Structure 1
Amino acid sequence: MSAAPSDTLVELRHGARRVLLAPHVGGSIAAFDETRDGRTIDWLRPATPAALAARDPLGMASFPLFPYCNRIRDARFMFDGELIDLSGDGNAFAHALHGNAWRLPWRVGDVSNSRATLHFLHQPSREAARHWPFAYEATQHIVLDDHTLTVSLFVRNLSDRPMPFGMGHHPYYPRTRNTRVHARVAAMWRSTPDLLPTRAGAHPCVDAMASQEGMSADAFDLDNNFAGWSRTATIAWPDEGRAITLSAQAPFDHMVVYAPASHPALLCVEPVSNVADWVNLDVDRAAKGGAVLEPGGSVSATFAWTTRVD
């Protein structure tokens, strides 16, 4: 199949399972569902027609995070003796958020019935979303099969100097009164009121997620990073007899859970390579994640969602 135009949805199918990609909306996944006994099962929260029309990544099923995950305090940090100022990157938040690739269109590469490759090229400029001062390229290779949706991410530093870097994906799951989250983590990062991490430590949600029944998505007001993630988490709907398991490779050594009390329809469990604000956080690199890519250096990693219906 020839490459699709970047301003149209790309549909992948494998049997009764379907994935919709929205390359023009930040290289996002717009839907992941399947049909069983005449009904549709949404494994990720599907994008609405309004979100697609508005090209709103926050309304998609999941979107990629490049070249960093989550927030950077005041949109500024020091790197290699230089102040990196992202305050002009057009991000409408108090702190820089999620990088820039989620706010720009991706190009569609090879596509077949059940797999696709999306490409992104960043060249710095004064244009808002191009304000990141390091050139890089990224790809997403997306494959759908009988049980699993697999996403492989790749990035290469195209600059002539080292580049600080992080990556991840930001999935939204259907959230109901009976949704449970199962995961094993060592600690939760406490945060400031504007959601910048301060220290990792104990929290009741850590034990709740590790329990046999899992953590209710409504039990805590969460927008937090988690340390010591086993790289596996399951979101379950026991009343519906189904579950989806997220599994990830290194360097996705960190997890974010977003289950806000103020927005009871929202639930995110995200694989990420760095804690929020890692470039400003004064802790050991092993604790906060993130990386530095030398000129021409690259990194790749894979994560997957495996589904189960009882």
Structure 2
Amino acid sequence: MALMRETSEHALRDGLVRQTSCYPLIPYSNRIAHGRFSFDGIEHRLALNFGDHPHSIHGNAWQKPWQVAEADGTHCRLVLVHRPEGGEARGWPFAYRAEQLLTLSPNGLTLTLSLKSEDHRAMPAGLGLHPFFPKRSGVRLQFAAERVYPSGSDSLPMDGIPVPAGWSYRSMRELGEPRLDNCFAGWDGKARIVYDQEKIALRVDADPLFGHLVVYVPHGRDFFAVEPVSHLNNAINRPDLTGHGLKVLKPGERVTAQVRFDVEALS
């Protein structure tokens, strides 16, 4: 059985990234409000890159072609070099190099993300991963976080609050229909997804850089997402929030982190 959402031939043929099993969030996760931010005294305007959505979303790496640097039966390394020249600056105004390393083992998959600043200026930066999982009958979820940032009517986070009971998965429980599309902070880097009917569990272990977790459970759909990310949604515009997680990379500086997906057979 597939433990991540399967990618259809139609999605592959037409390049429908948001219908794939998983994609990277580089050089930021989730939304930047109205595609605008100021950094080091300069205001930047990004392309609104998701239809009629009013914000820029998920960086620009998910919409750009990556190069296969090396591959064999158990691993694949993908590389993306971004240069903010011409219209490319509307995707992201700083130069960077990103890599994805996918490594298969008998028990699962390790995915390593890397982001290196290749700009002459300091660069705000974040990493994230957007895997989708099938929402089958009886699927259960477990993860622990300290607080959550509810989204307002504009899809942007409000101030953090203690995790309410309806959104708490500190103890393993059925996924249900919580209508979640929110960022959790103070995540310990561990999550577990259990498919009781199939007697299979998927364990997620993320490096400490991923101190936030976005959980997306759309109502009435056959999938959900549990997204390890380094920072709060719209963090670049919320420097007032303690622990927002956004990094600033100096020229030539790199940030790297792993997410591991391990399969367990249940008795």
TM-score range, shorter chain: over 0.9
- 1:297 maps to a residue whose letter is E
Indicate the residue corresponding to 1:216 in structure 2: 174
Q: CA deviation at 1:78?
A: 1.0
Q: CA deviation at 1:309?
A: 1.7
Q: CA deviation at 1:143?
A: 0.4
Indicate the residue corresponding to 1:37 in structure 2: none
**Alignment partner of 2:160: what SS?**
strand
1:248 pairs with one of 192, 197, 206: 206
- 2:230 maps to a residue whose letter is S
- 1:159 maps to a residue whose letter is D
Q: CA deviation at 1:130?
A: 5.8
Distance in 1 (alpha carbons) for counterparts of 2:31 and 2:212: 14
**Alignment partner of 2:240: what SS?**
coil
The percent of aligned pairs where both chains have the same amino acid is 33
The runs of 4+ residues in structure 1 deviating greater than 4 Å are none
1:260 pairs with one of 218, 240, 252: 218
Q: Deviations over 1:193-220 (max 9, x none)?
A: 122111111311443x112xx2322241
Q: CA deviation at 1:90?
A: 4.1
Residue 305, structure 1, aligned to residue 261, structure 2: yes
Indicate the residue corresponding to 2:79 in structure 1: 119
TM-score by length of 2: 0.94
- 2:118 maps to a residue whose letter is L
Q: Which runs of 5+ in 1 are unaligned?
A: 1-40
CA contact (8 A) 2:31 2:55 kept: yes
Q: Deviations over 1:25-78 (max 9, x none)?
A: xxxxxxxxxxxxxxxx10100100111111011010000010000001011011
TM-score by length of 1: 0.82
CA contact (8 A) 2:34 2:48 kept: no
Matches within 5 A, 1:54-93: 54-86=14-46, 88=47, 90-92=49-51, 93=53
**Alignment partner of 1:199: what SS?**
coil
CA contact (8 A) 1:192 1:198 kept: yes
Residue 50, structure 1, aligned to residue 22, structure 2: no
Q: CA deviation at 1:177?
A: 2.5
Indicate the residue corresponding to 2:185 in structure 1: 227
Q: Deviations over 1:196-252 (max 9, x none)?
A: 111111311443x112xx232224110000011110001111122111011100211
1:204 pairs with one of 157, 161, 165: 165
Relative distance call for 1:196 and 1:89 in structure 2 (3 A) is closer
CA contact (8 A) 2:48 2:54 kept: no
Q: Deviations over 1:242-293 (max 9, x none)?
A: 11011100211100100011x421200010001110011143342x111000
Matches within 5 A, 1:150-161: 150-161=110-121
Distance in 2 (alpha carbons) for counterparts of 1:299 and 1:282: 20
How many positions carry a matched residue from both structures?
A: 264
CA contact (8 A) 1:107 1:119 kept: yes
Relative distance call for 1:136 and 1:285 in structure 2 (3 A) is farther
Indicate the residue corresponding to 1:272 in structure 2: 229
CA contact (8 A) 2:183 2:214 kept: yes
Q: CA deviation at 1:168?
A: 0.8
Structure showing greater relative contact order (alpha-carbon pairs closer than 8 Å, 6 or more residues apart):
2
1:98 pairs with one of 51, 55, 58: 58
Relative distance call for 1:126 and 1:266 in structure 2 (3 A) is farther
Q: CA deviation at 1:84?
A: 1.1
Q: CA deviation at 1:190?
A: 1.2
- 1:306 maps to a residue whose letter is D
Distance in 2 (alpha carbons) for counterparts of 1:43 and 1:135: 35
Q: Deviations over 1:109-156 (max 9, x none)?
A: 111110110000000123358631100001111100111200111111
- 1:303 maps to a residue whose letter is V
